[in-house]
Amino acid sequence: MKFQIFAALCLLVVCAECKYRPPELTYHQDSNHHGRHRENWVHRDEANEISTVRPRNNYRSDPPDHTKLIPMARYVLHNADWASVATISSLSAIQGFPFSNVKSVVDGSLANSTGIPYFYMAPADFTARDLTRNSRATVQVSLEETRYCENQKWDPEDPRCTRLMLSGKMKRLKEGTPEYTFAKAALFERHPAMATWPADHAWFVAKLKIAQIAMVDWFGGAKYIPVKEYLAYNYTGTEILDRANKLHTEVTYV
Ligand SMILES: *[C@@H]1O[C@H](CO)[C@@H](O)[C@H](O)[C@H]1NC(C)=O
Ligand SMILES: *[C@@H]1O[C@H](CO)[C@@H](O)[C@H](O)[C@H]1NC(C)=O
């Protein structure tokens, strides 16, 4: 009798595993072999097989010294995959209210950070609709997007968990310009799924023309960073590129 219960339990465990596996395999087969898909796949695999060996949260690399405000600001934006974008709502029930949306972001290619947030937008989206009436926006990113704060056991609102609020006017980039070509390629490099988004949505590339940079970075109140120095800073961090290359190598040889 005891053995039967034991056998039944084993079967349950095995079945639970059976249930879990197929979507994962499907996921892998469906992936289009770009960075982001690979990344998900590798993480899931690691989670299943060697979670006791590796840290659960594999953050990118340590951020710069918190007293170095410009390098920190550029690090947080360059390492962020998405931003919260706040606009003045044009929805009839909440006209003039603040409204916030999640947008995938890049500040340049993996290898070339510019400090300027670029977005891929469709006119029907909340954000794009608001921007046609009022181009003012605030773009917010957090160090927690790298999971660094969680690793340090810091709450996302802990002032040491750096957050960056970039405010300004959003501008649509003119198709065919060098900046458009650069920004679109950078968006597609970091967010390969964009290449599969429905072609009939009239996608365009937009950037924030930064008017103010506010940052919460460590204790002691808000920091305001001069825009000119921020943009002029030559950010040479390669953590995103290294990570993409590492994932590429891991997947190629597993
Ligand atoms: C990085 O991007 C800037 C802005 O588009 C461009 O002027 C510069 O040539 C690029 N540098 C490299 C190494 O790609
Ligand atoms: C930025 O720094 C790198 C590495 O030191 C250097 O090769 C590159 O020329 C610099 N770019 C600019 C625009 O100063």
Per-residue pLDDT, 60:
61
- Read off the pLDDT of each residue in 211-238 and give the average, rounded to a whole number: 96
pLDDT over 90 (residue 218)? yes
Task: Determine the straight-line distance between the first and last CA of the chain, rounded to whole angstroms.
Answer: 43
Structure tokens at 37: 């898909």
* CATH dotted code for 69-250: 2.30.110.10
- Judged by its nearest atom, the ligand closest to the C-alpha of residue 238 is 2
pTM equals 0.77
- Angstrom distances, CA of residue 233 to CA of 115, 164, 175, 193: 9, 16, 27, 30
Q: What is the pLDDT of residues 124-141, one digit of tens each?
A: 999 999 999 999 999 999
- Classified as helix, coil or strand, 192 is helix
Tally Cβ neighbours within 10 Å of residue 34: 17
Higher local confidence (pLDDT), 7 or 90: 90
- The protein residue whose alpha carbon is closest to atom 1 in ligand 1 is 112
The token pair at 46 is: 């690691």
Rounded to the nearest angstrom, the distance between the alpha carbon of 203 and the centre of ligand 1 is: 23
Q: How far is the CA of 167 from the centre of ligand 2 (A)?
A: 27
Distance in angstroms (rounded) separating the CA atoms of residues 163 and 157: 9
Residues in contact with ligand 2 by the CB-under-6-Å rule are: 234, 236
Q: Which residues line ligand 1 (CB under 6 A)?
A: 112, 114, 182
Distance CA 98, CA 90 (A): 10
pLDDT digit string, tens, across residues 138-188: 999 999 999 999 999 999 999 999 999 999 999 999 999 999 999 999 999
Looking at the CA of 106, which ligand is closest? Answer: 1
pLDDT in tens, 22-51: 333 333 333 333 434 333 333 333 333 333
CA-nearest residue for atom 9, ligand 1, is 112
- The DSSP bridge pattern shows strands 204-216 and 163-172 to be antiparallel
